[in-house]
Amino acid sequence: MDLKALQARLRDFAAARDWQPFHSPKNLAMALMVESAELLELFQWLTTEQSNTLTRDAADKERVGDEIADVLLYLLQLADRTGVDVEEAVEQKLRKNAEKHPAKHPEKPAPGPKGHLLIDWENVQPRGEELRALVPEGTDVWIFHGPQQKVEASSHRLAYGASKVALVPRPGLNKKNALDFQLSYYIGYISARQPHERFVVVSNDTGYDPMLEHACELGFDARRVSFRRQSPPVVATSVKRKVKAAVAKPTLALKPVYSPVQLIAPSAAQIAWRAIVQLRAMSTAGRGRPADLEAFMESLINEPVMDKPGLACRASQLLRDRPLGLGRAAVDTPRSTAALVRAIQSPAAPTPVAQPLPTVVVEVPAKAKTEASAKATRQDVQRLAQFLDGLAPAKRPAQKEELLVLLQYHLGETSGQAPRVTQVLAQLQAQKRVAIKRNVVSFPPSPAAAPVPAKKTAAKKAATPAVPKAIPKPTAAQVAKAVLGSLGKMPKNKPTRRAGLLKFIETHATKAADPKSIAQQVCALLEARRDVVVSPDGKGVTYPKF
């Protein structure tokens, strides 16, 4: 907000309505007090808790905003009529308050003026760390580029923050110096809104100099800086050959090795692993969560990827959600691994050319052979199975690549396709602790622990006679069904007395524990279902459904 421009607008607003005679400092101070009282009235009868939640309602928030605006408008008009510079008065008052009331805790330094860096991307392409070293006071980055020009801004977002980097494409007009004029217009636009800030044009084009010199004559802090990237020195490497004696130990001839050029786009799990190893390689003081995790992830993607921000977003989400994500970055990593990751991930290193190395004959020590052929142990499988069972359902990996990363972390491997990782995954699937279908991971319920069979001894134990299985006793419903089947086959000689019916039912309940009790239950069931109707005297029975 430009306070001086707002004061001029209020001055014109009052002049258009002939209010100047009423806007004396005394009247403005009284009006300011009245507006402050109206603002106080909104909170006067509320408790502290109610005042904290008043603006959650849209209507109440609008009322509070109206009263605050009235107070500010009268305050600015009072400062205008008395000739007080509000910004200068605020700075002086803050200094006085700081001297009067010393701080009890460390206080952040007041932010200095912004430094707007306007880059002519058609002329120079500095990376974020190079731009930071070139103009240390820069805070906001504006990248002006052509409509079809590729812009790699991940390093700039990492160095300055994603909200401080803006991409400004040139309109699709093939006119000479079109981007130069567009950049010059933006300098005027930003300087009109923020006249006290710094402006730096990053370009080797000297055509900007007359415009910047004129801006300096008008009192603006504007200049141009050139940029030229220094090519890294080429280090010559030599391959030492080992001369074998006449009688030597068995040797292993290695196949030609090519420089690592990855043609397949990396997965989100691989980028998350790169971030963890990169964080491990940092010093203890500088280690921690980056301010912008997605920009940090995007800076680690050096392969050609169609949707680099999307891949960085998925890797960031994977690192945040998994319990073994950012926490693993607190574990120290060997220096050799950290140096290897820095060499691979360094954006300043040129892309190596794939050239086959000559065949080298080397001896493989027995210890190295043992380490290379290391396999997953039974303890590894049991430990990981117990860990997966202990995870909450919401924390368990839902995709195959997430499960591979989790196994990779626990086993200490550097790749999700390492032999130990694939062996453990195969064992978990064979034990039905994990099921994978179309890259979707599910966790079947854990089977009950089966008793461990005793070892066979030399002497065979005597055969134990088999115990006959117990025959289940028939229920009342089963007996009733059998009785109805028999009654259906007796058209003329059905029992006509209730006592005879009970005896007839007992003949079908001979296998029951108590046939007479079952007979009473079956008879009551048949009466309830109206298959049997008892006469009023309780002795005779009829069968209305037969």
Hey, what are 11's tokens? 């001055």
Alpha carbon 410 to chain centroid, angstroms: 21
Are residues 120 and 87 located together in one domain of the fold?
no
Higher pLDDT, 408 or 443: 443
Are residues 271 and 323 located together in one domain of the fold?
yes
Higher pLDDT, 368 or 496: 496
Higher pLDDT, 304 or 250: 304
Round to whole Å and give the CA distance between 333 and 281.
Answer: 7
Boundary of a domain, candidates 100, 123, 140: 100
CA count, 13 A, side-chain hemisphere, 361: 9
Residue 245 falls within a domain, yes or no? no
Residue 355 falls within a domain, yes or no? no
Q: Is the separation of the CB atoms in 220 and 191 below 8 Å?
A: yes
Domain count, the chain: 5
Query: 275-306: b or e for each residue (b if 16 or more CB lie within 10 Å)?
Result: bbbbbbbeeeeeeeebebbbbbbbbbbeeeee
Helix ranges, 373-474 (H): 378-390, 400-411, 419-430
Among 93, 89, 91, smallest CA distance to 80 is for 89
Mean pLDDT, to the nearest integer, of 455-478?
62
Are residues 124 and 219 located together in one domain of the fold?
yes
Q: What is the pLDDT of residue 526?
A: 87
Mean pLDDT, to the nearest integer, of 479-484?
88
pLDDT in tens, 284-341: 555 445 556 777 788 788 777 777 888 888 888 777 765 445 554 544 444 434 443 4
Among 546, 543, 544, smallest CA distance to 496 is for 543
Are residues 134 and 93 located together in one domain of the fold?
no
Portion of the chain with pLDDT greater than 90, in percent: 33
pLDDT in tens, 164-196: 999 999 887 777 788 899 999 999 999 988 888
Boundary of a domain, candidates 328, 346, 364: 346
Higher pLDDT, 331 or 529: 529
pLDDT greater than 80 at residue 144? yes
282 pLDDT band (50/70/90 cuts)? low
Higher pLDDT, 466 or 180: 180
Among 364, 388, 353, 375, smallest CA distance to 421 is for 375
Are residues 264 and 290 located together in one domain of the fold?
yes
Residue 196 falls within a domain, yes or no? yes
pLDDT greater than 60 at residue 217? yes
Number of separate helices (H) and strands (E) present in the chain: 20, 11
Q: What is the pLDDT of residue 278?
A: 74
Are residues 126 and 214 located together in one domain of the fold?
yes
Are residues 123 and 94 located together in one domain of the fold?
no
Are residues 87 and 120 located together in one domain of the fold?
no
Are residues 131 and 91 located together in one domain of the fold?
no
Q: What is the pTM of this model?
A: 0.35
pLDDT greater than 90 at residue 389? no
**Tokens 């099921």 identify what position?**
435
Q: What is the pLDDT of residue 418?
A: 82
Which CATH number fits the domain that encloses residue 220?
Answer: 3.40.50
Hey, what are 180's tokens? 């130069």
Range of the domain at 510: 476-542
pLDDT greater than 90 at residue 457? no
Mean pLDDT, to the nearest integer, of 340-359?
41
Are residues 291 and 195 located together in one domain of the fold?
no
Are residues 149 and 211 located together in one domain of the fold?
yes
Q: What is the pLDDT of residue 243?
A: 45
Residue 244 falls within a domain, yes or no? no
Name, of 344-353, 449-458, 497-506, the range with top average pLDDT: 497-506
Round to whole Å and give the CA distance between 115 and 197.
Answer: 6
Q: What is the pLDDT of residue 367?
A: 44
pLDDT greater than 80 at residue 264? no
Residue 95 falls within a domain, yes or no? yes
pLDDT in tens, 327-338: 545 444 444 344
Higher pLDDT, 65 or 395: 65
Mean pLDDT of the chain: 79
Residue 434 falls within a domain, yes or no? yes
Mean pLDDT, to the nearest integer, of 368-382?
66
Round to whole Å and give the CA distance between 351 and 265.
Answer: 16
Least confident among 96-100, 237-241, 317-321, 431-435: 237-241
Residue 106 falls within a domain, yes or no? no
467 pLDDT band (50/70/90 cuts)? low
Are residues 86 and 129 located together in one domain of the fold?
no
